[in-house]
Structure 1
Amino acid sequence: MQKSSAKKTLAGRKGNLTDMSMYKEVSIKHMLLGGEMTCLKKFCTGGSDMKVGCSWAQFKGNHIDALEVIFSALKDVSIKDAKNLMSTKLVYNDKPIDLYQTVKIEQDITVANIPSFRDVGIEPMAKLILKELGPWCEIKDVSAWRRFDNNQYLPYGIK
């Protein structure tokens, strides 16, 4: 498992913090190329592309209880079963646990961060990413933060 630390992000007004446990990082590559939404892929160095990870931010600080749910699901799973694990529904505190699959970096790679797309919107930004970067490189995945309860995207943090 890869560990991602919980994040608190300023939400526009001074002193206001966004509760990142209400959001999950999702793949928006389907907005570029069409088709169905796929599982988010994250890059790892020195490892296999069959590993599975999850973000700590979704557990609101109750990491020990959440780990018990994850470990019980993993006890009989080998690395070759990673794709099957991605389709397994794990639940903690009546919310699904979001997993991601890692992709091994085999060559030079650049991660582009888009700090804000507030004035443009998520879909026009996805189309712009494809238009500007598509001719120059292979786009492995594009991620954005989406709220659990209403599927709205945060207007920043595209990678």
Structure 2
Amino acid sequence: MIFTETKLKGAFIIDVDIREDHRGGFARTFCMKEFEEHGLKSSVAQCNMSFNHKAGTLRGMHYQIPPAAETKLVRCTKGAIYDVIIDLRPDSPTYMQHIGAELSADNRRALYVPELFAHGYQALTDDAEVIYQVGEFYTPGYERGIHYADPAFGIEWPMEVTVISEKDAAWAPFESVAVGV
């Protein structure tokens, strides 16, 4: 695996190092030892999958607060998504900054999301499928979210948002949300 730290400390783009031969290719997508060597949380509490019927679908911006703060390793296994994370760690030098990255079945890229980062994505293709390895169990009482179009962050989504859940559309702006740390 090839780990590239983003401008947000502790957040990494992870590319696979494919070994190819006449059969096709092979690559490691997760290795506890390699994650730990990069200072990343390597535990996996659950693996989740989401499927998005239509391009323009948006999911996010979600996070969990302590004691159930979660890490995520996000990979698009079918189609393509634009994945966004926001650093919500008040003591971080990149507090309230965000990055976006295209994850697709073609580029096989993953995004490592540290604890106390809001996470969301927009499907760039119809029938986009996303796999998440999550470092903590989903805990509804500790779930939080912020509005995907909050002007405090200025996220530029690549497409018009055409499908979104009522819950995600109703998240409040960040200024009214307690991160809980």
* TM, length-normalised to structure 2: 0.27
Question: In proportion to residue count, which structure has more helix?
Answer: 1
Question: In proportion to residue count, which structure has more strand?
Answer: 2
